Structure 1
Amino acid sequence: MEKKNDWNDRLSPGVRSIAPSGIRKFFDIAAQMDDVISLGVGEPDFVTPWSIRESCVYGLEQGYTSYTANRGLLELREEIARRYHQVYQTDYDPQTDILVTVGVSEALDIAMRAILSPGDEVLIPEPCYVSYQACTILAGGVPIAVPAKIEKEFRITPEELEQHITPRTKVLLIGYPNNPTGAIMTRKDLLAIADFAEKHDLIVISDEIYGDLTYGEEEHVCFSSLPNMQERTILLNGFSKAYAMTGWRIGYALGNPDIIAAMTKIHQYTMLCAPITAQIAAVEALRHGEKYMKNMVSEYDRRRRLIYDGLTKMGLECFEPKGAFYIFPSIASTGYTSNEFAEALLKAEHVALVPGSAFGSCGEGHVRCSYATSIDKISEALNRMENFLRNHRR
């Protein structure tokens, strides 16, 4: 009998080494079940504001269906530069320092591919978004996890980073406000990180997709606005979270001209350009979307307080999130692993959330709950979780 090819052996070792996203596993299961409340996927439950949608409709009616420049519509890049100058006092040249991408995910991927050589190490505070380690590996780099702990509100310090620095370290990848923990970094915190990056001559990739979603007295600090940081920082942001535009797939990268030019090379051979309709909508979002964004942030804040109070009252150790729309309670006291807890809760009470281990080994002992869903659903999910804890603690 003729031997069959083992096609798996012909796949890239880097791809084979990466596990599928841990976020999606439980939602594939949940999709087959009735009466499931999802606190899982990080997607706003708001519809994109009408004026943003209308701008897209108008663009289609006017026949705007072509390619754009590889770097994106100049009009959009000018609006991005204007906003960063107005809010953060940075100076980005729309012609050379800005690249419009297909979501922040593409921006992260091509940033890694543009700057990493095989074996280069990337410091990544963990728990972290699921793509950080995968994109590092796919670009030939080596992800180095730096544990961030609940006792320190999941913030990272230069002293902790110093413990993991080596001659191969090239990049520091940070994401604040943080997914999955909801942690933020203050200006004082980030100034210390900036000094560390300068001391070791690191490139900093700062994922600030949740920058507009902060609560309380602390305002978001743009990393590239810190002294001496704009040249060495690749800043990533987009429209998915703050403007409820996840399906539009529109993001951008800001950086020095050499790095942006390198990223554009990869972008033009893979994506060519972001969809023109999404870019038109993004222009409208920047010009007239702030009032809608602020209303959504106000509602997230109300949900944040509800879910934090509910989880702490049922006895779970919980850091009060200061940004994004996630909370990351510890379930160590229940006797379950993160995976076991998520599976048991889904089967017993039909509540779907994400095991903390999906965000790196440092996330074990926690689960991620998204509060980007309605007050009624959050309230019912909390009731079900409390019932589960009452009947299923080990």
Structure 2
Amino acid sequence: MIHPEVHNTVSLEFSAMARAKSVGGEKLHSLGLGEPFWPAPGAVRQKLSEIALSEHYGYKSPFGNQILRQSIAHDVTAIADARIEAENILVTAGAKQALSVVFKTLLEDGDEAIVVDPCFVSYRPQVFLANHNAKIIPWSLTDDFSIDIEALKALITPRSKVLVVNSPNNPSGGLISAVEMQALVAIAKNHNLYLVCDEIYRDFVYHGATFVSANAYRDIYDQIITIDGFSKTYGMTGWRLGYIVASKEFLQNAVKVVQHEMTNVPEILQVAACEAFNLPDGWFEQYRSVLERNVDHYNNALEDISILKTAPIKAGMFCFPKFDLGDFTSDQVAVKLLHSQNVAVTPGVVFGKDWDSYLRVSLSSPEDEFHDAIEKFATFFRTFL
């Protein structure tokens, strides 16, 4: 039986209107989805084409392709300045399945998962899908979406088992600093918590901000688990390729979930994905720089609109402005924006009832399209001034 807290987020009025407009052929300016505007790398697609016609793939290891695991381990080692081996990697069907596997491996009846708030919409449902009798403890970020260590400490109980964070954060654009990450690791260690960090947006940092991986602290605490994948940086959302980085001991249990749910991630996709690690240095910069300029344009276009407040956008694919429009809900505002300007954003309420005066805005559009959409977005809010 599905837990009653597992909701379908597309039931909003906004979602119904957006679908109707799309089906009707109207041009939408989409600032809603977490979808890269760039395609998968040509070398990856070419490799898939070649091996699809020339080779046969049957059942393979549930841990994942060994060459891919070695490549991921080398990449994580370079980013985190930590020794990561192939045996620390478990390949999954996307970062979503990675998180699902982690929760299914860890959570028992009555366990508490402390989950950063706001967060990606699938975190809370996945806790309940893993264990119907687990409990979620929301840990709210501050007004500027930085973390509150003292508030976190007050939430910990003898039943606390997992601490879930996301850096860079979806939806807020916040980023955990080195000092903050050290504090999180220390708290997890002191209370014997598993620190689960979703790092899928690790390459999306702007204006000199620095991404700090939880893997950098693995030598002082082995109950650190990170989630990552190929969807965002490499524009491979439809490929469904993700991975878990964790201790060898943890993965010996986690692999049982993959083995009995799907045997293995399709080998042909894994072999093709290996080409991502042969791309030229700085390959992603062509796209990251566009997103950074989109951040600048967003800030410039909206700086004089007093009823809209946006925390500093340090990283990630989104920003999360707060609106001050009296009793209007985020769904109502999103519907009005879509109706009047054909601009689609994500109502904040999909991230929880505490975020119903916010809208999530995606930065992931080509510059000219983003500029047009944000100008319309700004025009809409100016009508309320």
- Common fold: TM-score over 0.5: yes
Mapped contact 1:147–1:362 kept (Cα < 8 A)? no
1:271 CA drift (Å): 1.7
The verdict on how the C-alpha distance between 1:305 and 1:132 changes in structure 2, with shifts beyond 3 A counting, is same
Which residue identity is paired with 2:250?
I
Aligned twin of 1:301: 292
Aligned twin of 1:5: none
Aligned twin of 2:380: 388
Counterpart CA distance in 2 for 1:247 and 1:65 is 20
Within 5 Å, which residues of 2 pair with 1:239-388? 239-288=230-279, 290-315=281-306, 316-333=308-325, 335-388=327-380
Which residue identity is paired with 1:21?
T
Tell me which moved more, 228-237 or 179-188.
Answer: 228-237
Which residue identity is paired with 1:32?
A
Kindly provide the CA deviation profile for residues 65-108 of structure 1, in whole angstroms up to 9, marking residues without a partner as x: 333311110000010111122222222231x3211000000000
Q: How many residues align?
A: 378
Which residue identity is paired with 1:143?
I
Aligned twin of 1:204: 195
Asked if 1:31 is matched to 2:19, the reply is yes
Which residue identity is paired with 1:276?
E
Mapped contact 1:177–1:323 kept (Cα < 8 A)? yes
Secondary structure at the residue paired with 1:292?
coil
1:29 CA drift (Å): 2.6
Q: Could you tell me the TM-score, scaled by structure 1's length?
A: 0.91
Quote the RMSD (CA, aligned, Å). Answer: 1.9
Kindly provide the CA deviation profile for residues 159-188 of structure 1, in whole angstroms up to 9, marking residues without a partner as x: 010121111110000000000001001101
Which residue identity is paired with 1:142?
K
Within 5 Å, which residues of 2 pair with 1:1-394? 12-14=1-3, 16-21=4-9, 26-33=14-21, 34-94=26-86, 96-140=87-131, 141-150=134-143, 153-226=144-217, 228=219, 231-288=222-279, 290-315=281-306, 316-333=308-325, 335-392=327-384
Kindly provide the CA deviation profile for residues 246-280 of structure 1, in whole angstroms up to 9, marking residues without a partner as x: 11110000111221111110111112111223212
1:361 CA drift (Å): 2.8
Kindly provide the CA deviation profile for residues 168-214 of structure 1, in whole angstroms up to 9, marking residues without a partner as x: 11000000000000100110111111111111110011100001111
The verdict on how the C-alpha distance between 1:203 and 1:229 changes in structure 2, with shifts beyond 3 A counting, is farther
Which residue identity is paired with 2:362?
S
The verdict on how the C-alpha distance between 1:312 and 1:207 changes in structure 2, with shifts beyond 3 A counting, is same
The runs of 5 or more residues in structure 1 that have no matched partner are: 1-11
1:327 CA drift (Å): 0.8
1:228 CA drift (Å): 4.4
1:23 CA drift (Å): 9.1
